[in-house]
Amino acid sequence: MTETTTQEVPEMAPPPSGLFRRDPNDPGTLPLLLIIPSQVLLMGMMVFPFLLELWISLTNWQPTFGSLWEAEFISYFNYEELILYEPRFLQALGRTLLFAVICLSLEFLLGLGLAILFLKAIPARKLLFSLLLSPMMIMPVVVGYTWFMLFQTNGPINQIIGWISLQGDLPQVEWFRHDATAFASIVVAEVWHWTPLFFLVLLSGLNAVPQNPIRAAVMLGAGPLRIFWSVVLPNLLPVIIIAFVIRSMEILKIFDEIFLMTRGGPGTATEMVSQYLYKLAFQDFRLAYAAAAAFIVLVLTVIGVNLMLRPITRQILREE
């Protein structure tokens, strides 16, 4: 007879929860542990200011009323005031949208035209390429001041118009005195400044379009327009969308050029959202009100960008 002994099984500790449930020998654990500090820091840097800003926007704080910690909680009053009773804010939003649509359309068309032109071998291609890219390397403040000088009543633009005009005399357009001309002047400055970005991005995109479908289309007798519309454009679409997204976010923040050229005037004819926020925050020091306005802009921007990115996200989902 053999004696059997029962081995005592040590009592197991309760399984650790969350991260500590992972087996320390699992090769995925170490990278996770290494990532955590940076993630915590990042979240702290992003989430804390975000929450603080949200809280400020729900108070009536401005420094002339006392310190932030004494500010009265007024719930959604600032938001209600901005949306229902502050036409200047809504006008600035609408104006910014209009400005963005006009500028982005022009920048895209000009950028695309130039990119197509540069696909072919043209004389002094390298030199022209460098020259065309140079505006976007200039500081916005310099661009603003340069165009401010160019659009002066006695400035070179009026001089050129004078030469072109049949009368030959200086027409003295007062660019910054009328709504339409002031708006047009900042559109010109912005388009001049940022068309090179579209040009660069679209040229890269065009160079990356696969050649085989184009050759096939040529062999099948498709004309240039048909090839562009049916072959090139669909391949270029993700690049175009990314260019639009980047520029849209940038154009919402336009400040320097307008500050230097028109200061938002005449009246408020060229006042964009960023000028309006600057006035609220740094002239009137209505910091809570400015925070609420900035939140509204943020929400609208997130919605807008998501809508613009929808074709790309759909494509990614399809591929998955």
Catalog residues that contact other proteins under the rule CB under 8 A: 63-68, 152-154, 172, 174, 176-179, 263, 265-268, 279, 282-285, 287
Query: 93, 181 in Cβ contact below 8 A?
Result: no
Q: How far is the CB of 62 from other proteins (least distance, A)?
A: 8
**Is the CB of 194 or the CB of 276 nearer to other proteins?**
276
**Is the CB of 227 or the CB of 272 nearer to other proteins?**
272
CA 235 from centre of chain:
23
**Is the CB of 178 or the CB of 314 nearer to other proteins?**
178
Q: How far is the CB of 65 from other proteins (least distance, A)?
A: 8
Output the CA angle 83-87-89, nearest 5 degrees. Answer: 70
Query: 98, 186 in Cβ contact below 8 A?
Result: no
Rounded to 10 degrees, what is the CA torsion of 94, 100, 101, 104? 180
**Is the CB of 229 or the CB of 282 nearer to other proteins?**
282
Torsions phi, psi of 253, nearest 5? -100, 10
Q: How far is the CB of 77 from other proteins (least distance, A)?
A: 11
**Is the CB of 49 or the CB of 66 nearer to other proteins?**
66
Q: How far is the CB of 10 from other proteins (least distance, A)?
A: 60
Tokens for 266, please give them.
Answer: 């005449």
Q: 59 pairs with which residues across the strands?
A: 73
Q: How far is the CB of 284 from other proteins (least distance, A)?
A: 5
Kindly report the number of other CB atoms within 10 A of residue 178's CB atom. Answer: 13
d(CA 160, CA 48): 54
